[in-house]
Copies of this chain bind each other. A is one copy, B any other.
Amino acid sequence: MRMLINVPETVVADGLRGLAAAHPDLTVDVENRVIVRRDAPVAGQVALVSGGGSGHEPLHGGFVGPGMLSAACPGEVFTSPVPDQMARAAAAVDSGAGVLFIVKNYTGDVLNFDMAAELAEDEGVQVAKVLVNDDVAVTDSLYTAGRRGTGATLFVEKIAGAAAAEGQPLERVESIGRQVNENSRSFGVALSACTTPAKGSPTFELPDGELELGIGIHGEPGRERRPMMTSGEIADFAVNAIVEDMPPRNPVLALVNGMGATPLLELYGFNAEVQRALRERGVAVARTLVGNYVTSLDMAGASVTLCQADEELLRLWDAPVKTPALRWGM
């Protein structure tokens, strides 16, 4: 167990204390586990609230700030937050313009956000929801009925967040969020398992020299296991899986995402192969983001997310954002 922690029980709280210390623009309620942009509620703007298990940082807390999320609710590692967190967040950020919940499609998250919506609505907060389910690798898994929500979460949060920042109404922010999810597909591979602090040993056994194709972000099983492949072969496999599911209309936003432990040098090299694979299939790329954004603790590996983006989605993608993990134009 090679972890930079105190004890497993305080990993999430310690992380929140450290987030608060580094980012004075955020208000972090460590006890209740709610991260809120300091200037919330923002008059006239729809508020965005997301959350999910910890261990995927910078998702979601690193995406809180102007132009993206209003609040995030971290659960225990790989465990859904509880409804009270999201209800508390909604109350803190609602300006009267309503709140959009952005929910990754895992059974616990879906149930708990549903309960939170009821709680918030009982308090007079208007709530809409976008479910993110972009992972083409598997339908149904250890944690999900239907497709899992992975990398597209970043696109939904950024683009819906930009629409909210422009003062667009709740139904419009919701429909943009849904459109982004429907236009997005992801595929990931693991070169190693990850180790949760509580368990202290890898979530599954992946022998050296093998990789798992179609992995999720919790160490749940993928689509198939194979002997190690080159970066180029992996890029072809991932891009094929995506474009077979969603035949390309141009152009796309591309996220080449690290699972946590793969060096940035390798991620950029993988991006070169993803771009080649897309070029060979006639898919034009409008924007590319490379880095560790939707992670799985110390898992080695990467995922590819593509989002078909029209002019309006591109414009919203390019709009200013100011969060710990994604920042431009401010």
Q: Which of B2, B191, B292 contacts A4 (CB 8 A)?
A: B191
**Chain A residues within CB distance 8 Å of chain B:** 1-7, 10-12, 14-19, 21-22, 54-55, 57-58, 62, 77, 191-192, 208-209, 211, 228, 230-232, 234, 256, 260-273, 275, 285, 288-290, 292, 295, 297-298, 300-302, 322, 327-330
Contacts of A58 in B (CB 8 A): 264
A123 smallest CB distance to B (angstroms): 31
Contacts of A62 in B (CB 8 A): 264
A64 smallest CB distance to B (angstroms): 13
Query: Is the Cβ of B261 less than 8 Å from the Cβ of A18?
Result: no
> Complex formed: what's the CA distance from A231 to B197 in Å?
13
Query: Is the Cβ of B4 less than 8 Å from the Cβ of A266?
Result: yes
Q: Could you say how many copies of this chain the assembly holds?
A: 2
Contacts of A234 in B (CB 8 A): 4
Contacts of A266 in B (CB 8 A): 3-5, 11, 15
Contacts of A17 in B (CB 8 A): 268-269, 272, 275
Query: Is the Cβ of A263 less than 8 Å from the Cβ of B260?
Result: yes
Given contacts A14-B273, A270-B18, A275-B18, contact A261 B264 (CB under 8 A): no
Task: Please give 8 more A-B residue pairs, beta carbons under 8 A apart, in addition to A7-B230, A22-B256, A22-B288.
Answer: A4-B300, A6-B273, A15-B272, A16-B268, A18-B268, A21-B285, A57-B263, A263-B297
> Complex formed: what's the CA distance from A292 to B268 in Å?
15
Q: Which of B14, B265, B301, B330 contacts A272 (CB 8 A)?
A: B14
